């Protein structure tokens, strides 16, 4: 694949200009805004998130807890997974971890909200990230399992008990989430994130060397493949499909060719752990968050390597003999991504657009949500939904900001102060995308009104 597609400097200049353009495009004339909010699915102030001209949003639901991934069934009912974890300080909304939402009058606001599944207990871990619909069945990550519910016609809440599809998912370490994606024929690809930042002898410690071999790669930092149509499967090293991917929360199947794509988290703390080799400014730019096509046997290099988007190549990590970004060593043989995003943006979900409600340029492209960084100085970045266009079945060289401003007027120094942090993404059967926020439990529904 052409290295020009991976030049971070070009991409960063482009996305900065595009995000700014999105913000300008959203400063519409008062008469235009008023006219749009009078239409179904548009809230006053376009739901509080800047969007390109011609688009608007509604707050579909709010205060749902720590919402993670979501999915829209063919009926139009929305399902969202929530969790209680070390990242939420063991907090969540009361009731079941899975939330069913119905908008019967299609006005962009859920009138019926019901919770089901395992019930949250104060101060305890529970729930999960992954959720998907395959056929007439709802698949949900819960604790260390993936279970499925048969959807009931006429009722958003499943009537029967769930069946266990996969159990024994690793839940230790830094990245215990297990998002997944299911192909039309039932192949289920699931993430097992790394337990550590860089597989050091002491995790996230100053100048601690890396372990070789990195034994956690046997069951972590990769993508595993299972059968969504089969019950009673158990997680094991044998089903590993791809490796060297530190943590993949965003993954999706392209609707036209059934290919798996991911947007993965790069490592943290280059300057914090290796101040003799990296400045804080370099850490703000390294490493890239990657967007990649995944095939069986792929190795993207973690923890031995990281992808430098400025140089458009993998380089040796400092824990394994790296010299601050010059030496490549074994990394020259690792698979390269399709697109490089700015460092530490934290990609959390991906949804391909196959609807017809949006302009033609969005057809077949990928929306990617970014939770926002914590490892930048002095302020953070991300907190947006970006769009990666596809042409002839391949991702383009450019991406653009689509929905921005989730954090507030400007990204804060502390991500905990962000107003909202984008998380889940899904596209409904009517072509409207939904975006979840796992800070305050809000869901937005985005529509196109035309005129752009």
Model confidence at 27: pLDDT above 50: no
CA distance linking residue 280 with residue 272, whole number of Å: 8
Please indicate, yes or no, whether the overall pTM of this predicted structure exceeds 0.85: yes
- Domains of the chain (ranges; CATH) run 3-448 (2.120.10.30)
| 60 SS3 class | strand
Model confidence at 164: pLDDT above 60: yes
pLDDT at 452: 53
CA distance linking residue 17 with residue 349, whole number of Å: 23
Model confidence at 23: pLDDT above 80: no
Model confidence at 430: pLDDT above 60: yes
Model confidence at 21: pLDDT above 70: no
Structure tokens that stand for 418 in this block: 């962000």
Distance between alpha carbon 35 and the CA centroid of its chain, in Å?
33
Positive or negative, the CA dihedral 135, 141, 144, 147 is: negative
Q: Rounded mean pLDDT of 285-289?
A: 98
Model confidence at 85: pLDDT above 60: yes
Q: Among 375, 354, 394, which Cα is nearest to 1's?
A: 394
Model confidence at 246: pLDDT above 90: yes
Percent of the chain scoring above 90 in pLDDT: 87
Task: Determine how many CB atoms are found less than 10 A away from the CB of residue 263.
Answer: 29
Model confidence at 25: pLDDT above 70: no
Model confidence at 7: pLDDT above 60: no
Angle at 149 between CA 124 and CA 226, to 5 degrees: 85
pLDDT at 16: 38
Q: Rounded mean pLDDT of 197-220?
A: 98
Percent of the chain scoring above 70 in pLDDT: 91
Model confidence at 252: pLDDT above 80: yes
CA distance linking residue 447 with residue 433, whole number of Å: 7
Model confidence at 149: pLDDT above 50: yes
Model confidence at 93: pLDDT above 70: yes
Instruction: Name the average pLDDT for the chain.
Output: 91
CA distances from 280 to 268, 273, 448 (A): 11, 11, 40
Model confidence at 315: pLDDT above 80: yes
Q: What is the DSSP string of 368-417?
A: EEE---SS-SSS----EEEEE-EETTEE-S--EEEE--TT-SS--SSGGG
For 336-352, the pLDDT digits (tens) are: 999 999 999 999 999 99
pLDDT at 17: 39
């Amino acid at each position: 694949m052409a290295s020009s597609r991976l030049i971070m400097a070009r991409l960063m200049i482009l996305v900065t200009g595009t995000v700014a353009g999105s913000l300008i495009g959203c400063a519409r004339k008062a008469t235009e805004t008023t006219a749009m909010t009078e239409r179904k699915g548009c809230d006053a102030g376009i739901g509080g998130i800047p969007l390109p001209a011609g688009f608007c949003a509604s707050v579909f639901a709010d205060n749902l807890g720590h919402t993670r991934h979501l999915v829209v069934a063919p009926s139009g009912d929305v399902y969202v997974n929530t969790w209680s974890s070390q990242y939420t300080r063991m907090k969540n909304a009361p009731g079941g971890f899975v939330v069913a939402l119905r908008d019967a009058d299609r006005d962009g606001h859920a009138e019926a909200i019901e919770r089901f599944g395992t019930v949250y207990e104060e101060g305890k871990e529970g729930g999960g990230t992954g959720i998907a619909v395959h056929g007439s069945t709802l698949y949900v990550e819960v604790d260390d399992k993936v279970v499925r519910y048969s959807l009931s016609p006429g009722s958003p809440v499943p009537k029967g008990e769930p069946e266990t599809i996969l159990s024994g998912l690793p839940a230790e370490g830094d990245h215990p989430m297990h998002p997944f994606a299911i192909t039309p024929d039932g192949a289920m690809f699931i993430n097992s994130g790394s337990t550590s930042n860089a597989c050091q002898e002491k995790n996230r410690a100053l100048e601690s060397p890396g372990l070789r071999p990195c034994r956690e790669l046997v069951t972590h930092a990769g993508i595993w493949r299972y059968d969504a149509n089969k019950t009673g499967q158990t997680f094991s090293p044998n089903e590993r499909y791809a490796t060297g991917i530190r943590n993949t929360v965003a993954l999706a199947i392209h609707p036209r060719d059934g290919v798996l794509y991911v947007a993965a988290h790069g490592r943290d703390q280059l300057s914090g752990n290796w101040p003799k080799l990296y400045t804080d400014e370099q850490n703000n730019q390294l490493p890239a968050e990657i967007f990649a096509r995944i095939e069986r046997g792929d190795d993207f290099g973690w923890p031995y390597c990281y992808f430098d988007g400025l140089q458009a190549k993998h380089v040796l990590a400092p824990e394994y003999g790296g010299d601050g970004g010059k030496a490549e060593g074994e990394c020259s043989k690792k698979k390269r991504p399709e697109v490089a995003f700015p460092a530490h943006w934290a990609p959390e979900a991906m949804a391909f657009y196959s609807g017809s409600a949006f302009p033609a340029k969005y057809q077949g492209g990928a929306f990617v949500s970014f939770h926002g960084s914590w490892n930048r100085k002095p302020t953070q970045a991300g907190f947006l939904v970006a769009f990666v266009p596809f042409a002839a079945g391949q991702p383009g060289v450019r991406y653009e900001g689509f929905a921005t401003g989730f954090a507030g007027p400007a990204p804060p120094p502390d991500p905990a102060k962000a107003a909202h942090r984008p998380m889940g993404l899904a596209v409904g059967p009517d072509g409207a995308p939904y975006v979840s926020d796992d800070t305050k439990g809000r869901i937005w529904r985005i529509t196109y009104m035309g005129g752009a």
